[in-house]
Amino acid sequence: RLRALNRLQVILQHLKMSKQTDSTTEVLLEKKGGAGIITLNRPKALNALNLSMIQQIYPQIKTWEQDPETFLIIIKGTGGKAFCAGGDIRAITEAGKVGDKLSQDFFRGEYRLNNAIGTCKKPYVALIDGITMGGGVGVSVHGHFRVATEKTVFAMPETAIGLFPDVGGGYFLPRLSGKIGYYLALTGCRLKGRDVLKVGIATHFVESEKLPALEKDLIALKSPSKEKIADLLNSYHMKCTIDQEKKFVLDEHMEKINSLFSANSMEEIVKKLKQDGSPFAMKQLETINKMSPTSLKLTLRQLREGASMSLQEVLQMEYRLSQACMKGHDFYEGVRAVLIDKDQSPKWKPAALEEVSDEFVDNCFKPLGNDDLKL
């Protein structure tokens, strides 16, 4: 009897475990009233996106877009710490090392999802409460509405891991005012709270604790138009007084950012920073010197070209770059140094900007023929 009971407990325990690791619980897709709701549900991994989540979200958005009973789409994260801290970089690294297809499938799937959000005909509301970086920016910034809170932390930190600010970064970053997008992309600078709104990443700012009420009100709207949704978001936004008086964190540096980051090459940006010599410029120089020289060069060109491209063209270009990074050295070394061994001292190859040739950069942007991203 006891053994049978024990075995039953083991089976139950196993069922419980398999339920927790079951991919369907990593993202919850539900319909409430006229709203389709996407909940990123990997709180321990800060809701980082993996391929199975992407493969569930994409067709659901497409279905809701066609459904006359769905009037808006809401995306949010669980756990209170993060909306979505990025893509599942570790899995991609492991796959890339052994030439596994995941390193193609992941980026292909992710960029198709970014495009589906950017072209979505239904109003799309992202509640970017908490950490919102990399892939998390990709599933929010291309939608109609982005609601930040005092807990929001935005960054595109890819140059620190031998990658580039992808997920359409080449589209939205150069479109921010002045050269701030270039600055955010190259330095990985983090913006918090209201600053995410001030820079133009968020469209609204609401207290974190008011989000459940806002969500309820959004769901309760009867066949809402984009204007009605905007009105509701505006009413919450107007009532929020947190940090209202605070100046934009980069306010006093904007003039410098606009002049220093307007150079045509990374070498020139570095030269300008050295010549400027102010504490602000020296701090940026110190940051840039830690980044992958290859990533910096790819990023600068990605933004300069992306500034006049459509979102679709940008995502195609970024897919080419992603595959070039998968074949290179710095991505694996960056992930090792920052995420795995955490020694924070990557050995970049090449180690200096001057050693990254224009020819090498050109090659990373070349079409991939049949392997190009189809949107």
Domains in the chain with CATH codes: 27-245+252-371 (3.90.226.10)
Q: What is the pTM of this model?
A: 0.93
**232: pLDDT strictly greater than 60:** yes
Q: Tell me the mean pLDDT in the region 365-371.
A: 97
pLDDT at 10: 61
14 has pLDDT over 60: no
How confident is the model over 125-168, as pLDDT tens digits?
Answer: 999 999 999 999 999 999 999 999 999 999 999 999 999 999 99
**Residue 236 predicted with pLDDT over 60:** yes
**What confidence score (pLDDT) does residue 12 get?**
62
The amino acid that residue 236 corresponds to is Y
What gap in Å lies between CA 122 and CA 226, rounded to an integer?
Answer: 8
pLDDT band at 338 (very low <50, low <70, confident <90, very high): very high
Lowest mean pLDDT among 23-37, 117-131, 258-272: 23-37
- State the average pLDDT over residues 42-66: 97
Band (pLDDT 50/70/90 cuts) for residue 53 is very high
Both tokens of 168, joined, read 């359409």
The predicted structure's pLDDT at residue 8: 66
- Residue 9: the pLDDT is 66
Res 21: pLDDT: 47
Provide mean pLDDT across the span 310-331.
Answer: 98
Q: What percent of the chain has pLDDT over 90?
A: 93
Q: By C-alpha distance, which of 138, 145, 175 is closest to 53?
A: 138
| pLDDT (tens digit per residue) in 159-202 | 999 999 999 999 999 999 999 999 999 999 999 999 999 999 99
Mean pLDDT of 92-105: 93
Q: How confident is the model at residue 24 (pLDDT cuts 50, 70, 90)?
A: low
Give the catalytic positions in this structure.
87, 135, 158, 166
> How far is the CA of 98 from the CAs of 93, 101, 326, in angstroms?
9, 9, 11
Overall average pLDDT of the 323-338 stretch: 96
Residue 15 has pLDDT above 80, yes or no: no
Is the pLDDT at 313 greater than 80? The verdict is yes
pLDDT given for residue 144 in this prediction: 98
At 286, list the tokens. Answer: 């110190």
- Label residue 313 exposed, middle or buried (CB < 10 Å: 0-12, 13-18, 19+): middle
Mean pLDDT lowest among 18-27, 132-141, 309-318: 18-27
More confident residue, 372 or 24: 372
Read off the pLDDT of each residue in 270-281 and give the average, rounded to a whole number.
98
Residue 18: pLDDT band (50, 70, 90) is very low
Query: What is the pLDDT at residue 135?
Result: 97
pLDDT exceeds 70 at position 123: yes
> Burial of 140 by CB count in 10 Å (0-12 exposed, 13-18 middle, 19+ buried)?
buried
Q: Which pairing describes strands 72-77 and 35-40: parallel, antiparallel, or unpaired? A: parallel
What is the Cα–Cα distance from 112 to 349, expressed in whole angstroms? 31
- For the cut 70, the answer to whether the pLDDT of residue 4 exceeds it is no
22-36, 228-242, 307-321: the lowest-pLDDT one: 22-36
Pick from 59-63, 95-99, 201-205, 270-274: least confident: 95-99
Identify whether the C-beta of residue 319 lies closer than 8 Å to the C-beta of residue 107. yes
Q: How does DSSP classify residue 73?
A: E
Strand order of the β-sheet with 72-77 is 27-32, 35-40, 72-77, 124-128, 145-148, 204-205
